[in-house]
Copies of this chain bind each other. A is one copy, B any other.
């Protein structure tokens, strides 16, 4: 019986994605602080779609062409030439409803395009705000899964691993998991789950530290809140839409 279940793997960094076969798999792009949390939030709040692009220049150009909202940060500040930042709080329903968000991020967008280039079967984006939507979808699809952590400039980070662990913890009975990275992720999550924020603080997570220095405690807390924006962002024809 066990072997008839689809496989689930976790890639801890974009630099490890090539080790996993994504061809017939659903790849979950995980960039908890803050890209995929913001994507879920914008879509939950009625954005028509989110278009992830990998440079500020492309963001500006595309935003002009389609009359979209341009957004993205570099080093914690809104990038020059763009209108908005990476915070989920910038995208309430009254602002983003019915609009297209053109978002440039570094780690998450890079991983998404890598998965695309490698022929991923499907691409969806995951974060704590849409944890249940991700889990429900993966269980229902019954296909191989690769949980892809966006990391930070290829360096493994705690928060993306925690999210991978949360997913694994919920859906492990439906998958065949022969993957140490997945076991590590779930173990970390089990340690942290009673208070994810305190865990990040206690472990002095590098991204916790970085965002706190920008005064973004509120963002961190939100990005660690399960099901605050419970939609399923699905990548299709260059856009993330709600499935």
Query: Does B206 contact A179, Cβ atoms closer than 8 Å?
Result: yes
Q: How many copies does the complex hold?
A: 2
A125 contacts B by Cβ under 8 Å: no
A156 contacts B by Cβ under 8 Å: yes
Q: Choose, from A10-18, A46-54, A58-66, A227-235, the stretch at the interface.
A: A10-18
Which 10 residue pairs are nearest across A and B when measured between Cβ atoms? A183-B203, A158-B180, A157-B180, A156-B181, A180-B206, A15-B15, A19-B155, A19-B154, A180-B205, A15-B16
Query: Does A156 contact B187, Cβ atoms closer than 8 Å?
Result: no
Give bound CA distance, A154 to B181, whole Å. 11
Chain A 169-185 interface mask (CB, 8 Å, partner B; 1/0): 00000000111110110
Query: Does B203 contact A155, Cβ atoms closer than 8 Å?
Result: no
Residues of A119-137 contacting chain B, CB below 8 A: none
Query: Does B178 contact A204, Cβ atoms closer than 8 Å?
Result: yes
Query: Does B180 contact A155, Cβ atoms closer than 8 Å?
Result: yes
Number of A interface residues at 8 Å Cβ cutoff, please give it.
29
Chain A 199-220 interface mask (CB, 8 Å, partner B; 1/0): 0000111110100000000000
A25 contacts B by Cβ under 8 Å: no
Residue of B nearest to A208 (CB): B180
A22 contacts B by Cβ under 8 Å: no
Whole-angstrom distance from the CB of A201 to the nearest CB of chain B?
Answer: 12
A35 contacts B by Cβ under 8 Å: no
A161 contacts B by Cβ under 8 Å: yes
Q: Contacts of A187 on B, CB cut-off 8 Å?
A: 187-188, 191, 203
